[in-house]
Structure 1
Amino acid sequence: MPKTGRTTRLTAERNVVTRRRWTTIAVLLAATVRSAAAAADPVVFWHNDPVGPDDAVLVSGADLDVVTAARIARIDDAGHVGNATALELLQRTPGSFKFVVPAAFAAGLYRVTLTHAGGEVTIRLNAPVVYWLQAEGGDTVAPGGWLRVFGRDIVRRSERARLRLVPEAAGPPVELAPAQGDLWSARFVVPDAIRAGAYKVEIFNGEGAARDVVEAGRVTVRPRAEAGGRTYDVRAYGAVGDASRDSTRAIASALETAGRDGGGTVYLPRGRYLVSDRLEIPPGVTLAGERTDLVSLVWPDLATPPDALIKGFTRFGLRDLTVYASNHRHVVSGGFTGGDAAEPDSADIEIRRVRIRASAFFGHLRPDEAAARTARLAASFPGQLAPDTLRLSGRRIVVADCDILGTGRSLHLLGARDAVVTGNTLAAGRYGSYEIVGADRLIFEDNRVIGGDLQASGGSFNANAPTVTTSRNIFVSGNTFKGFYGHDREAVTSDAPGGYYLGAASTLAPDTLSLDGEPSDPALRNLPNPERLGVGAVVMVVEGRGTGASGRVARFERSGTPARLRVRLERPLPVALDATSVVTIVKAQSNYLVVGNSFEDTGPAVQSYGTGLDHVVAENRAVRTAGYLVTGLYYHHMQPGWRVQVLDNRILEGNVYRAIHERSDLAFEAAIAVQGLQPSNAPGRPPLVQGVIVRGNRLDEDAHIAVRGYVAASPGVRDVIVEGNTIGASRDGLVVDVGVAGALVRRNTVRRIPR
């Protein structure tokens, strides 16, 4: 992969960890003897799946070097365990090993038994691994509504797969067949006759016996809310849809009345309604047109536009209309109190079948007028350069079947939880993109995401905001990303610079770690409100005992004399840390499922940049993009990439032009690139990327696979499997450099052509 300004030309500010810190850690590691751990039982943290016959499996954990033998057996549909076959353990270390599923096995559910002096440990391959459960109402669903389960191996055999709703009160379980389902997600429809109440949710993916279920979470079935509420016709308040007489006060009066009455629908019949100021939608009110193509709200070229043309705070809707505007600021804003501050209790915002055509560059602007307007936008939105077209925050957000074009970002979500963005066209404007910050349980599917301006870029799912510590449980599927020519051109990327702590840590109690060094984040040094800082961040054990284990921060605190920094975890780590253990604590970016999307004329199609944990990039197609990138680096802090699977993707045309951050690189090959960007040649640094699977990908022309850790003394990449890939005509083919430890490369077909 060609070197890039943001990924391989590392600046001192981003990447230097002081020599003093690492010298101290190296002395600590050298001086410590793991006598107690030598007799410990092995613990498995993670293994990759789905897998089939003749596929390699990586197992990571602790004390795996005490395993004396391993065997594998297939479990049939009755739950019977077949004859076991001995496994050869490859590339063994205390923290990992690899093996290959026997080629003679049939596909299905496998049990692997690890034998050690103290007994046995078993793991199941291809059982459901649930990342999250999401219901139509977040944690609730009404009869006739939907439930969705996301993760790995969710549905393997749809004719047998089932979701089971087990009532927490008395009563028989309710079984549901999937309405849709594959390895990564499944959708179920709740029957009309189900009783209201709390249910435990279990899933069976169709492999093994029907009793082989995995708990998927809990959901509450609530009665279906009855449709109703008054309708307020804006014509009764004096609105005239002739595009010439100002209807602002009439529409605002109808909205205020509906809000005072407790909610309802403010109705706009066919017409073009001239508006000259902000419209505010009260809680419980929906502003609805007769039909998207029949109703438009029209703003003139305002000299001093309001902060948002349409604004609400919580529990409001907008549907079935078109918005036209020029020289605007934000177009639709929901869930923000002012500026970038999110309304803490915002929820239940629905934007459906809305078309927006908002551009500060409409009409016959002279070049000097366009430049002046661009400068004003840049001054008004520093760092962002342009306003948001849809700007929403809160719980249970729906953006569906909309057609959005604005001057800047097409869509900005902040802190969205249980959100659904589906069936939309999202066109970014000048210097625009889309940006989804700090989401948890987000479905982003079947959208068309495009550049509406030659300087528009793609976008990201990130944790890059001061108030955000996590971005997780993200499903990106069935989308088309096309035509990004500005800025970094990234179609789907993660991002969250910085971190909270890097250094030694040890276990004080099952859910408490002592942090034995100084925090990276200055705010942690005094901790006036420790319970408010870093909640939800991820603790990743990068060296020593427990390497590969991770947990989430419940809170930071100081205790003892002298006061020591501690971190309480949401749940205990699978093993206790000791004096050899080193952790990094960073904003969490985990459980991204990027599946079945199409990318054309972008920079990186999918990029895990910095911290990444348990991502899957599968079954995507790319044409003229930089490819699929897994990157761990020092991004103002140590940010590892762990347990990322790149499966069954395709690069149809990899001959690309200026598709990465380094502006001097012009035309080059696309790649599937796994890169751990160690900042120096100093020995003793932990790897930045661990546990990556690159399998079953097809690279047709001018594309290659590169695994690079760069530094032999401190390999940047550890434990990677590259197998079953097909690489067509390529100048680079398949590259694994000296900075990679524990690479298993097998069953690849590579066609090299001369440079």
Structure 2
Amino acid sequence: MTNCRVGALAAALFLTITSCCVAAPAIFWASDPVRPDETVVTLGEGIRSDCVVESARLSDGVTVKPVVNPLPSLSKWTVLKPLQVGPRSVKAVLPAAWKPGVFALRVRQADGVSNLLLANAPDPWWLQGDEGQRSTPGGWVRVFGKGLGPSSDEVRAVLRNTQGEDTALKVTKATCWALSAALPATLKSGDYTLFVHNGLGGEAGWRAAGQLTVIPPVTWKTDMFTVAGEGEKVDTDKAIQEAVDKAAANGGGIVFLPRGTYDVKGQLLIPPGTVLRGEGMGLVNLYWANSAEPPAALITGANCGVQDLTIHCFNYIRVISDTPDSERFRLNRVRVRAVPEAVRGRIIKPTKEPFCGLHIQGRNWQVTGCDIYAALACNAQGRALIAGPWGFAGDKGPWYGVMTDNKFFGHMYGCENYKDVIFERNEVQGVCISATTYWNNFSQNLYCADNFIQHVYGGDREIMTFDAGGGAYFGKARAQGAHLTLAADPVFKDYAPTAHTDYRGAAVFILDGTGAGQYRLVTANQGREWEIDRPWIVSPDDTSIISIVPFRGRNLFIGNTFVDGGAVQLYGSAADVILAENKGARIDGFFTWGLNPHGWGWQPSFCCQFLDNELTEGSGYGARVWGPSFIGVTTNNSNEQYGGPLARGTLFRRNVMHTQGYIRVEGNTEDTLVEGCTVKHSPTGIRVGTTTRQTLLRKNVFEDVAQPLDGDGPKNAVIVDIKKE
């Protein structure tokens, strides 16, 4: 619940406050997860210098039945003296003697008391089932967000049907960021609400994670159509096509390839409900010889699958691709070796489309256990993987996908217009993970966890980046509920020859003035009239400046290892993004940007957190950083149009730089916290720029660091408990 997009409890307590009637303070974000003896950063409006933070630890335990939007009943509050107060923020430390738990928070001052927020309560961002948006009896459901752990022994997950009947699920794994649960094999089909509880906070700890539809198990026909084996007189291309045609006439089935090598000449179009299955990845080889005019995809289809085989090809555009209308695609244990003829000294015909080993465009897809190599080609970009459209897609995209336990090698992994994607336990070599909005409005809800990514030297050498994206509007707006009227006409800009104007899914950020630090998502737009997904907690007024740009938010990067390359960066339009428990070696570092690329739109960074990350070896190889690596926040936005904050509520907690690394807070930032971080064996510890505002440095440790604090900014920051060894 405690995020920039206010949760249901906060909305119920405090709907809409306009500047003309603000008396008591209003708060709309409190940083979590947070432990005892750590600082809570609270963002809001109407906060005065005489304020205090009041907090209470909720009782633990789990009630049997979930309670919808429970309000905690509290009679005893502990007053926390602020370490730092600004007009839109207050920072205070939780008592060290408290146990970890769910903490109620509010702000009190002479003119009143604010609404209440809960820190460390479950904050579900999205859920996924074994059939995308849906689950099947005996299948699984996963929830992603914050505060979902700490362990599966204490966590509860309950499905409630439309009659109010509850079914407890078996939680198979739970961390702070992700929860997995198994559905009973006897569960009835129907619509359910999923509730979760992390074992803390008692009755008030229940949260609705979203709606889940349970459907009968999805089955494709299992009729077998075996392809004739290899031999001198066997036309394997014709034999495969004949088996595919039989499966199509049958309404689906299994096109089975016995062990051997199969020459294929054109495109294989897999019919709906059909699986192209080999006897084994190491036993079956499909071979496409060099072609001057390769098809758009060597293997394609909707609602189909490919399993247990190897593909060898030379000139290609896409090796494997589903379609934008696909609703179920499965790729399992497939090896791709795509090597364009250009690498053999020949010039190939350039193409407008990128070379790509795998292109995912539809919904409800799963890619597991694959090994994909896609080499670069002359005059073209080679990519091991593209997940997303090549152009504006509107409400189509690579949604509700699972990509686990794969190997990718190539130039770039591009992800565009995605939503609800699990990218987990993959090994990636030479491939940049690029979450982009070149032609579209959003890339959101990515769980990128436990991957190993190495040797990224091409292009800007970015190991992971948010990138591209244009903008639609910068200026004033009048708000009424969930409706906005812009003060001027929007101007749409992006990378397309003609910029799109359908901005559903993009974000409306309040950059400065009343309500600054909030964002909402666009649900409809026509001219100056725009609809957003919910009302503001504090509505913008004549002092407010808003920016409407693509949304790259609610993404989780957890427990990954990044080695040898450039930046792991949130390059604009990042909101509610968390990088936690990652390790890096010989990379530029981990950082977030607020910026205005090409002058197309002001893209801020709101409420992003860097927690428990490590840089084991500094010295980056990126296009922008040469020398010590860093973890930090920066902006490059200041000009005559806007010079206000473009990064708000950035947290750096318990990060460790072992050698040649430092922490950097620069640019037009506001309300940055650096707490409990350690810098070792480096010339510089923490660098704070002169244009930063409301920076708090607390309990940071420096070991063998010549200059623990650098820059002119520290004199404007609050500094507490610095330790130098």
Give the TM-score, by structure 1 length. Answer: 0.84
Query: Residue by residue, what CA displacement relative to the aligned partner does 1:599-627 show, whole Å, maximum 9, x if unpaired?
Result: 111111x2100110000000001111111
Q: Aligned residue for 2:572?
A: 610
Q: Aligned residue for 2:608?
A: 644
Q: Aligned residue for 1:685?
A: 643
Q: What stretches of structure 2 of length at least 5 have no aligned partner? A: 1-16, 62-71, 376-381, 389-396, 708-725
1:426 to 395, 399, 408: 408
User: Aligned pair in 2 of structure 1 residues 154, 244: CA closer, same or farther (>3 Å)?
Assistant: farther
Checking the alignment, whether the CA contact within 8 Å between 1:151 and 1:184 is kept in structure 2 is: yes
2:517 corresponds to 1:548: yes
Q: How many Å apart are 1:497 and its aligned residue?
A: 2.8
Q: How many Å apart are 1:582 and its aligned residue?
A: 1.1
User: Aligned pair in 2 of structure 1 residues 303, 226: CA closer, same or farther (>3 Å)?
Assistant: closer
Distance 1:683 1:534 in 2: 23
Distance 2:591 2:367 in 1: 29
Checking the alignment, whether the CA contact within 8 Å between 2:287 and 2:311 is kept in structure 1 is: yes
Query: Residue by residue, what CA displacement relative to the aligned partner does 1:403-432 show, whole Å, maximum 9, x if unpaired?
Result: 00112211111121100011100111xxx2
Q: Equivalent residues in 2 for 1:715-726 (5 A)?
A: 716-726=668-678
Q: Aligned residue for 1:732?
A: 684
Query: Residue by residue, what CA displacement relative to the aligned partner does 1:558-606 show, whole Å, maximum 9, x if unpaired?
Result: 4xxxxxx1211122222222111110000010111000001111111x2
User: Aligned pair in 2 of structure 1 residues 120, 583: CA closer, same or farther (>3 Å)?
Assistant: closer
Query: Residue by residue, what CA displacement relative to the aligned partner does 1:508-564 show, whole Å, maximum 9, x if unpaired?
Result: x211111113423179xxx9x99x611111000111111112111122224xxxxxx
Query: Residue by residue, what CA displacement relative to the aligned partner does 1:117-150 show, whole Å, maximum 9, x if unpaired?
Result: 4555222111011111111112211111111010
Distance 1:566 1:243 in 2: 68
Checking the alignment, whether the CA contact within 8 Å between 1:243 and 1:273 is kept in structure 2 is: no
Q: Aligned residue for 2:391?
A: none
Distance 1:243 1:45 in 2: 72
User: Aligned pair in 2 of structure 1 residues 141, 94: CA closer, same or farther (>3 Å)?
Assistant: same
Q: Aligned residue for 2:696?
A: 744
Q: Equivalent residues in 2 for 1:123-272 (5 A)?
A: 123-171=117-165, 173-209=166-202, 212-226=205-219, 228-235=221-228, 240-242=229-231, 245-272=234-261
Q: Aligned residue for 2:482?
A: 511
Q: Aligned residue for 1:441?
A: 420
Q: How many Å apart are 1:243 and its aligned residue?
A: 8.3
Checking the alignment, whether the CA contact within 8 Å between 2:220 and 2:253 is kept in structure 1 is: no
Distance 1:522 1:600 in 2: 35
Q: How many Å apart are 1:225 and its aligned residue?
A: 3.4
Q: How many Å apart are 1:684 and its aligned residue?
A: 6.2
Segment drifting more, 418-427 vs 243-252:
243-252
Checking the alignment, whether the CA contact within 8 Å between 2:161 and 2:190 is kept in structure 1 is: yes
SS of the aligned residue for 1:64 comes to: coil
2:321 to 321, 333, 337: 333
Q: Equivalent residues in 2 for 1:37-48 (5 A)?
A: 37=20, 39-48=22-31
Segment drifting more, 211-220 vs 181-190:
211-220
Distance 1:284 1:123 in 2: 48
Distance 1:96 1:119 in 2: 14
Q: How many Å apart are 1:244 and its aligned residue?
A: 8.3
1:471 to 434, 443, 446: 443
Distance 1:522 1:147 in 2: 38
Query: Residue by residue, what CA displacement relative to the aligned partner does 1:67-105 show, whole Å, maximum 9, x if unpaired?
Result: 844321212225896953211123323321111111222
SS of the aligned residue for 1:742 comes to: coil
Distance 2:79 2:706 in 1: 43
Checking the alignment, whether the CA contact within 8 Å between 2:106 and 2:113 is kept in structure 1 is: no
SS of the aligned residue for 1:97 comes to: strand
Q: How many Å apart are 1:505 and its aligned residue?
A: 1.0
Checking the alignment, whether the CA contact within 8 Å between 1:729 and 1:753 is kept in structure 2 is: yes
User: Aligned pair in 2 of structure 1 residues 684, 552: CA closer, same or farther (>3 Å)?
Assistant: closer
Give the TM-score, by structure 2 length. Answer: 0.87
2:105 corresponds to 1:109: no
1:583 to 546, 551, 562: 546
Q: What amino acid sits opposite 2:557 in the alignment?
A: V
Q: How many Å apart are 1:230 and its aligned residue?
A: 1.5
Q: Equivalent residues in 2 for 1:327-366 (5 A)?
A: 327-335=315-323, 343=324, 345-361=325-341, 365=344
SS of the aligned residue for 1:251 comes to: helix
Query: Residue by residue, what CA displacement relative to the aligned partner does 1:188-247 show, whole Å, maximum 9, x if unpaired?
Result: 011112222211111101112256201100111222235643111112xxxx32488541
User: Aligned pair in 2 of structure 1 residues 707, 86: CA closer, same or farther (>3 Å)?
Assistant: same
Distance 1:187 1:250 in 2: 43
Paired-residue identity, %: 32
Q: How many Å apart are 1:62 and its aligned residue?
A: 2.2
Q: Aligned residue for 1:675?
A: 634
Distance 1:101 1:672 in 2: 25
1:703 to 656, 661, 664: 661
SS of the aligned residue for 1:73 comes to: strand
User: Aligned pair in 2 of structure 1 residues 309, 56: CA closer, same or farther (>3 Å)?
Assistant: same
Segment drifting more, 81-90 vs 473-482:
81-90
User: Aligned pair in 2 of structure 1 residues 167, 722: CA closer, same or farther (>3 Å)?
Assistant: same
Checking the alignment, whether the CA contact within 8 Å between 2:227 and 2:240 is kept in structure 1 is: yes
SS of the aligned residue for 2:306 comes to: strand
Segment drifting more, 267-276 vs 222-231:
222-231
SS of the aligned residue for 1:733 comes to: strand
2:468 to 496, 515, 528: 496
Query: Residue by residue, what CA displacement relative to the aligned partner does 1:150-190 show, whole Å, maximum 9, x if unpaired?
Result: 0111112432210011111253x112242111010011011
Segment drifting more, 296-305 vs 612-621:
296-305
1:295 to 280, 284, 287: 284
Q: How many Å apart are 1:683 and its aligned residue?
A: 9.3
Checking the alignment, whether the CA contact within 8 Å between 1:242 and 1:271 is kept in structure 2 is: no
Q: What amino acid sits opposite 1:443 in the alignment?
A: I
Distance 1:458 1:57 in 2: 34
Q: Aligned residue for 1:396?
A: 364
Checking the alignment, whether the CA contact within 8 Å between 2:680 and 2:705 is kept in structure 1 is: no
Q: How many Å apart are 1:326 and its aligned residue?
A: 1.3
Distance 2:232 2:478 in 1: 69
Q: Aligned residue for 1:623?
A: 585
SS of the aligned residue for 1:555 comes to: strand
2:531 to 559, 568, 577: 568
Query: Residue by residue, what CA displacement relative to the aligned partner does 1:620-674 show, whole Å, maximum 9, x if unpaired?
Result: 0111111101111111321101110000000101133xx2224xx6x51111021
SS of the aligned residue for 2:251 comes to: coil
Q: How many residues align?
A: 661
Distance 2:21 2:642 in 1: 22
Q: What amino acid sits opposite 2:429 in the alignment?
A: I
Distance 1:621 1:82 in 2: 43
User: Aligned pair in 2 of structure 1 residues 62, 36: CA closer, same or farther (>3 Å)?
Assistant: closer
SS of the aligned residue for 1:150 comes to: strand
2:60 corresponds to 1:77: yes
Q: Aligned residue for 2:374?
A: 406
Distance 1:246 1:136 in 2: 39
Distance 1:643 1:575 in 2: 17
User: Aligned pair in 2 of structure 1 residues 752, 707: CA closer, same or farther (>3 Å)?
Assistant: farther
Q: What amino acid sits opposite 1:735 in the alignment?
A: R
User: Aligned pair in 2 of structure 1 residues 624, 285: CA closer, same or farther (>3 Å)?
Assistant: same
Q: What amino acid sits opposite 1:419 in the alignment?
A: G
SS of the aligned residue for 2:243 comes to: helix
Q: Aligned residue for 2:392?
A: none
